[in-house]
Structure 1
């Protein structure tokens, strides 16, 4: 006998998730992009849950494919703009969360520990092959608009 309206369901889930975030010791996220020059990572969301997952637990672990690393913030700025426009037709998404390591000693927000797991999983071999362009995918989902299989599911 849970809530029946979409609004009540949303409120119920929000409260439950918040309890979980507040008691979690470790938060694990993906990573949309990373900046090589600073070691910063960027999480792009429309809901803002990434902020709770990255700032409330004592330890944050981000996992990303090696192809997500861009040289500079300027490069990532272009990618974020492309992601938002291609995914949802917006100029920017609701939330862009930037992280550069654990919190400083005088800060109250953020994790005490930060770990970044960079996954190769065969990507370096693909990079040297004729299929290297597949690593340019930013996971916006725009290709699904023209995919015959996806359109019939």
Structure 2
């Protein structure tokens, strides 16, 4: 499988976007400094993802319309599909997510699948919080989760958390 990689500067660091010719495989944030050089030969799906991420960070996009082809187990795919149903500006708890998937006892497995989400921001794992409303676990760091939730908040405040 031929993959293509592009990078984009965001307020939260450099985002790495990987695609094949069909869809987006991975979006992640990298903590090291990378020189951004994006090829004009990248597939259209990759170019479109960069545009939509830029629009999101500029505050001009609340939904993504991309072909997504993340790799994961059947269970992980089910969790990620459910994450995509969480509306912009809203949150849900790991327990709520487990209930929606039909098994309250699967909360740890749901949290694990959430943490393995390969599509940063586009599949909004940052919108999942603790049952008590607390910010819990986030692979990109809690400060990024806090920033994203504030960025998506319909009511702009000094600070949510």
**Same fold, TM-score > 0.5, yes or no:** no
Higher helix share goes to which structure? Answer: 1
Q: TM-score, normalised by structure 1?
A: 0.28
Q: Which has the higher strand share?
A: 1
Work out which of the two has the higher radius of gyration on C-alpha atoms and give 1 or 2: 1
